[in-house]
Structure 1
Amino acid sequence: MNLFLDALAWIFSPERLEGQYALPILFVQQLWYTFVSVLIAAVVAVPAGWLIGHTGRGREVAVAVSGAARAIPSFGLLVLLVLLFGVLHRPEAAVVTFVLLAIPSILAGAYTGFEAIDRRVIDAARAMGMTEWQILFKVEVPLGLPLLIGGLRSAVLQVVATVTIAAYVNLGGLGFPIIQGIPLGRFDQVLGGAILVAALALVLDALLAWAQRAAVPRALRDTAPPGRRIPSRIPVRTPSTEERIAA
C-alpha cells in the first residue's frame, strides 16, 4: 500500500511537469507512436481484409501470416530493426515494429466483419441489381464496421502497451520512467509509469468500446425497453365458427 501511495505521489509531483522527460511530453510521445502505427497498419490491413472477406479467398494465408506476426517478439524485432535501419533511423524502426504488431488484429477484424454477415443479405443485394462495389460499400462495410472497430480496439491496446519498449532505444514514451527506475531501484517511479500506461490504455479502450457500439447500424439496435419489445410477428386472430358462417 505504501508503494502505491509513493507511486501516486511520484505521478503528481510538480517535478513531473518539468524538463525534457516531463509526463505531458511522454504522454504525447506514447500517443504519437500508437496512433501513427495503428493508422499505417489500418491502411495496409483494412483493404486486404475487405478483399478477403468480400471474395472469400486468401483467408488461410491471412490466418497464417497473422499467426506468424503474433509470434514475433516485439522487443527482439525492435532491436533488430534498429540495427538494420541504423541508429539515426530509430523512430522508423520503432514504427515498423508497432505496425507489424497491429496488422494481425486489424486484418482479422476486417475480414471477420464481412464473414459474420448473413449471406442472404448479400444475395438479396445482388438480386436487387446492386454492383459489387455497391454491395461492398453500402452493405458489407456498414454491417462489418463494428467488428473492424473491435480489431482496431485490440490493435490499439496491444500497441499502446508495447510502445513502452521504445524507451529502450531512447525514443521516450511512458516506458522511460519504468526503464530508468529499474536500475536506480526507484520502484515508486516504476509503478507510477506502469499506472500511467494502464490508465491510458483503459481510456483508449473505453473510447473505442463506445465507438464500436455506435457503429452498429441503427436498424439492428434493440432500443425497445424491457417488457415492451416489438413482436417478431403480428398475431392473427382466428375467426369463430359463427363468424365464418355469417360471412
Structure 2
Amino acid sequence: MELSHCLQQEVLRLYHSKVSTPEICQKLGLNAEIVVALITNALSGVSSGAKKRPEKLEKRPVGRPRKKLSEDEESSLLELLCRAASDYGYHSPLWTPQRVIKAAGRELGLTLKKDYLWANLKRWGLTFDEQQRLCLGGLNIPAECTELVKSKRGLLYVLTEIHSAKLGIVALVGLTPSKKTPLACAVWRRHRVITDFVQYFLRGLLTLHPKRHLAVLMKKKSAYRTEKLKQLESYQRRLHLFLVD
C-alpha cells in the first residue's frame, strides 16, 4: 500500500507529538503494521512508499580553504615589508600587492594568493571606498581634485596612516580606484609617522607612476607637516596634494 506524502507527514507529526500507535491508526484509518513500518523507515532515514529526496547540502566555501600563515611566516613577511621594495630590484621603494606576492615567493618561499591578500585588506578596512569615506567624512571629493584627474588623466590616491602598537610598526598606505595598482604601502618599525616618512612615500608614488599626475587626498596634520609637504609639491609638477581638515 502506497501512502501519499501528506499522509506520511501526518503520521510522523502525530508520532513526534507523542500520540500512541493505536491512536494514530484510529485517527488515520491505517493498520498498525503500516504505521510501525512507516515510522521505523522514517527514523532510519528512508521514506516509505516515496522516492528519497536529496538532502540539502551544507553551504561551504567554494574551492580550497585559504592557507593561514604561521607566526614565523608572518614575522618573516613583516620583516620583508619593513624593507624598501627597491632593495629587491623594484624601481620604486613602495610595496604593491603584486610585488609582495612575488617577493614573498622568491625570498621567503611563501606562496601567497591574491584573494588571500585582498580578503585581509578588506577585513582591515583597506579599500579605496572605505578610506575615502573616512578621509572625507562622507563629503564628495573636492571638485578641483576631480577636475585635475580628468584634465591631466591623473591618478587619485587616498593616503592613510596605520599604527600597530602590538607589532611595533607604522605604515602609510595609498589606495586608488585603479585596478592595475590599487594599493601601495611602506612600513617602518616606529611608533609614529613623521613628516619625513610622508615625503618619502610621496616621492615613492611619483617613482611608481613616472608618467602620471597624482592627486593625493590626506588628512591635514600639523602646520609643520603641511608646510613641508607643500614645499615638496612645489618642486614636483606631477604631485597635487589635497589636505583635508
TM-score (norm 2): 0.23
Higher strand share: 2
Higher helix share: 1
Compare CA radii of gyration and give the structure with the larger one: 2
TM-score (norm 1): 0.23
Q: Which has the higher contact order (CA 8 A, sep 6+)?
A: 1
